Structure 1
Amino acid sequence: MEASKVIHAIYNDDDILMSAVKRVKAERYHIEEIYTPFPVHGLDRAMGLAPTRIAITAFIYGLIGLTVATVMMNFIMIEDWPQNIGGKPSFSYLENMPAFVPIMFELTVFFSAHLMVITFYLRSRMWPFKSAENPDPRTTDDHFLMEIAVNGNEEALSSMLKDTGAVEINLVDKAH
């Protein structure tokens, strides 16, 4: 296992963290990760993260749900077991489609929602029974932690982080 050094800069206010992130990025340091107790609006943009493509996957999952609903209802209600329910003949799928719209909507939402949750967990690498990777338990309560890679510039980086308002700065060996 190769170990590398990182600096953990701890902040106690989200506004101070945002200005610190902007300064760190302006100084061309690489921020490995930021741990926050709640979502901070604009943090992803300030870190320079690419926009998420999760909406595209939601649309694709919805289309899969719509397809499953259409194929399922056509097979069940038209081909396999046609029934005359309430005087509505089941000669073709298109004749009965208005009655099927609620089922189509519900399965579209069902597939989109459930597959999005599974995608989120897989993309975030949050497997069942996986231990937490949080480097400091205070980040679940009221502190913010910025993790920055150190490449022989520890003194300059620590000094700059102190100027940004960090309440605590720690040098840590991080295993890959």
Structure 2
Amino acid sequence: MSNKVVHAIYNDDDILLAAVHKTKAAHYHIEEVYTPFPVHGLDKAMGLPATRLAICAFLYGITGLFIYFNLLRYIMIQDWPQDIGGKPSFEFIQNMPAFVPVLFEGTVFFAAHLMVITFYMRSKLWPFKKAENPDVRTTDDHFLMEVGIHGNEEELVSFFKNTGAVEVKVIDKH
């Protein structure tokens, strides 16, 4: 089985977006699109599902809030209660105004750090990972759409030339 793909290179994001719509309408499977910056609407045009990173952020924030709540309760109420300014710290609710900034920062800390870790794990961006970019121009000013070939090589090449691609190449992926 051949692992050939077509690399259609565009120099404008609007032309790329129109080409993605035409490609999906022609029922070709888009393997990947490489862009130098985020293109608004590209994920919807490609039919990608919505991200669930926001749900993870909420759950991570709740986890941080719970951990910091218990940490403050243990340290400031149970383990080492202090009489500060004539106000004893014997109940959590009495000290709640002083604890709100700490609880907020703990929530943000957990949500932010665990979201970054989740993003890197989900997108498989490990330290020292070799770049998978097929064309160096996509980091500067070009856009690349990669479509798998399934016995229709000439048809795909002519199709992408008609979508406004400045360059169309057939590549054998290993």
Matched, 1:112 2:111: yes
Shift of 1:3: 6.1
Shift of 1:172: 1.0
Q: Which residue of 2 aligns with 1:48?
A: 47
Q: Which residue of 1 aligns with 2:131?
A: 132
Q: Which residue of 2 aligns with 1:171?
A: 170
Q: Which residue of 2 aligns with 1:72?
A: 71
Distance 1:87 1:36 in 2: 62
CA deviations over 1:79-127 (Å, ceiling 9, x no partner): 1111112222111112211110000001101111111111111111000
Distance 2:143 2:22 in 1: 16
Figure out how many residues of one structure are paired with residues of the other and give that number.
174
Of all paired residues, the percent bearing the same amino acid is: 67
Q: Which residue of 2 aligns with 1:59?
A: 58
TM-score between the two structures when normalised by the length of structure 2: 0.97
Distance 1:88 1:28 in 2: 71
Distance 1:59 1:77 in 2: 26
Shift of 1:173: 1.6
Q: Which residue of 2 aligns with 1:34?
A: 33
Q: Which residue of 1 aligns with 2:153?
A: 154
Q: Which runs of 4+ in 1 moved over 3 A?
A: none
Distance 1:71 1:39 in 2: 40
AA in 1 matched with 2:42: L
Distance 2:80 2:2 in 1: 64
Q: Over the residues paired in the alignment, what is the CA RMSD in angstroms?
A: 1.1
Distance 1:3 1:78 in 2: 68
Distance 2:163 2:63 in 1: 48
Q: Which moved more, 1:79-88 or 1:143-152?
A: 79-88
CA deviations over 1:125-163 (Å, ceiling 9, x no partner): 000011111000000000000000110111111111000
TM-score between the two structures when normalised by the length of structure 1: 0.96
Distance 1:75 1:14 in 2: 55
- Give structure 1 stretches of 5+ with no counterpart: none
Q: Which residue of 1 aligns with 2:99?
A: 100
Q: Which residue of 2 aligns with 1:9?
A: 8
- Give structure 2 stretches of 5+ with no counterpart: none
